[in-house]
Structures are given as C-alpha cells and as structure tokens.
Amino acid sequence: MPKSRARTILKASGITKQVTTGNTELTILSGVSFEVGAGEAVAIVGVSGSGKSTLLGLLAGLDTPSAGLVDIDGQALFALDEDGRAALRGQMLGFVFQSFQLLPAMTALENVMLPLELAGAIDPQAPAQAMLARVGLGDRLHHYPKQLSGGEQQRVAIARAFVTRPKLLFADEPTGNLDTATGGQVIDLLFELNRESGTTLLLVTHDEAITGRCDRVLRLAAGRLADNA
C-alpha cells in the first residue's frame, strides 16, 4: 500500500446491496469496506456478476445501498439527497464508461464542454478545447461521436472526465469496448492525466494490463471483498 499515508478521499463502510426479484432476495454486495487515499489508483476486479459495477455505482452515488456508508472527501454521500449527490458529482467526480456515453447530438467539443456548462462556467470552450488537444483530438473538435473511432470516442470521454479537474475519477471497464492496442493507448492517457492532475483513480476492469499499473487491486467475489492487496 504505497500511498497508505495519504489523506483518505473515499471511505466505504459495510456496503451491502440487496435486490428483490419476484419472491427471492438476492444479495449482490455484502459488507464491503475499504478506504482509498488521495492520488491513489485502485482497480476493482472480479468475475462477471461479482458486483463490481454495482459497487462502482454505489461509490459514485448513482444508486443507494441497502446498508452501509460512503464518505467522499469527508462528506457522507448518502446523507445527501439525489440532487445533493448530483451536485457533489459535478464538483468532485469524473466518469469514464465502457460504452463511452457520449451524447450523439453533440460534437466532441460540445460533449467536453457539457460538464463545464452544467457547472455554469463562463467560458467553457477554451478549457474544453485545450483538454481535447491534450488527448490528441485537437483536429476533431467538431466531429460527432458517430464520426469517431471507438478509441477516439473514449479519448473524448476521458477529456470530458478530466476537464472539470475532478478529485476522484471512476472508470467502468474503460477498455472493454476497445481492441488491445487502442485500449493500451487509452490506458496510457488515463494514467498520464491521473499523474498530471493528481486525481484519484478508481477502475473496474478485467484487463490485467490495467491492474498491473494500479497502486492497489480490490478483488470482489460473490459480493464480498476477497483480497485487499
């Protein structure tokens, strides 16, 4: 745990998630607890159905747990209502998704401008443009997502995630939809930006190439944390 003395930016305590399907109650996560220090890069791994994406959703406040607490930078996440959590996401969190989640009606530049616009930035264009240039898409500003390759779309998504300078960045299988070479480039970019901006990185992945670059790997098995290495 190389950065164990760093300030804790995320703390999960006893996270449990149960869902009811028909008459059966299914436990997806059970008593998951861990901490992440500022600037750390942490991978969450596990087989399909082990609850990785559910955990990520709960940590980012996209869903509410059946039991347990999450603190982000000292703020109890579930003490906030949905809009409060949205505001906190806007201020502190960034996201990169497996399916990119770019808005198809907007150009690359507009997609990157969107979080700044939602935060009420006066001039969202300049930083968005700079960030796209940083991810190597300075000449694709006005292209729509469907005009971009998968790797390019994911780079736009990374630019969108970093443009607000988040303290904590969540990535859900960021290379899951990409071939190995492109995935490698995207991961390089993600870690470069992580280093440059001092962002804390929390990734859900199957990709051994990614886990190898992380400071720490959390293994989930059947909804429990198996190995806090």
Partner 1 sequence: MSTLAQIRLAWRLLARDYRAGEITMIAAAIIVAVAAVTTVGFFTDRVQRVLEGEANRLLGADLIISDSRPLDPELQREASRRGLAAAEVIRFPSMVVLGERTVLTDVRAVTPGYPLRGELRIAERLFGPDRVAGSIPARGSVWVDERLHTSLDLQAGARIGLGNSAFTVGGVLTHEPGVELGFLSGQPRLLLSAEDLAATGLVQPASRVRYRLQLAGPSVAVDAYRDWARSRLRPGTRIEGVRDARPEVRSALERAEKYLNLAALTSVLLAAVAIALSARRYLQRHLDGCAVMRCLGASQALIMRLYVAHFTVLGALAAAAGIAVGAGAQAVLVAWLGQVVAVTLPAASLQPAAHGAAVGWLLLLGFALPPLMSLAHVPTLRVLRRELGMPRRRGLAAHVLGAGVIAVMILWRAQELRLGVTVLGWFAAATACACALTWALLRAAGALRGHGVSWRFGVANLRRRTLGTILQVVALAMGIMALLTLTVIHNDLLRTWRESLPRNAPNRFVVNIQPDQVAAIGRFFSERQLAAPELFPMVRGRLVEIGGRGVKADDYEEERARRLVTREFNLSWADHPQADNRVVAGLWWERAPGQAGQFSVEKGLADALGIRLGDSLTFDIAGTPVTANVTSLRTVDWDSFNVNFFVVAPPGLLEKYPATYVTSFHLEGGQVELLNALVQAFPNIVLIDVAQVLSQVRRMLDHAALGVQFVFLFTLAAGLVVLYAAVASTQDERLYQATIMRTLGASRAQISRAHLAEFGLTGAAAGLVAAAGASGLAYFIAHRFLHLAYAPDPSVWLIGVGGGALGVAAAGYLGTRQVLAAPPLKVLRAIG
Chain contacts with partner 1 (rule: CB under 8 A)? 53, 56-57, 60, 62-63, 82-83, 86-91, 93, 95, 97, 99, 101, 103-107, 110, 114-115, 117-120, 144-146, 150, 160, 172
State whether the Cα torsion 119-175-103-63 is positive or negative.
Answer: negative
Query: Which residue, 60 or 215, has its beta carbon nearer to partner 1?
Result: 60
Query: Which residue, 89 or 216, has its beta carbon nearer to partner 1?
Result: 89
Q: What angle do CA 191, 13, 62 make, to 5 degrees?
A: 60
Query: Which residue, 27 or 64, has its beta carbon nearer to partner 1?
Result: 64
CB of 95 to partner 1, least distance (A): 6
CB of 129 to partner 1, least distance (A): 16
Query: Which residue, 37 or 51, has its beta carbon nearer to partner 1?
Result: 51
What are the Cα distances from residue 221, in Å, to 22, 51, 123, 208, 227?
24, 8, 46, 17, 9
CB of 2 to partner 1, least distance (A): 29
Structure tokens, 159: 């630019």
Query: Which residue, 37 or 50, has its beta carbon nearer to partner 1?
Result: 50
CB of 110 to partner 1, least distance (A): 6
Query: Which residue, 215 or 220, has its beta carbon nearer to partner 1?
Result: 220
CB 58 within 8 A of CB 64: yes
Burial profile 43-57: b = 16 or more Cβ within 10 angstroms, e = fewer: bbbbeeebbbbbbbb
CB of 121 to partner 1, least distance (A): 9
- Sheet containing 200-204: give its strands across: 93-96, 168-172, 200-204, 41-45, 216-221, 224-228
CB of 99 to partner 1, least distance (A): 7
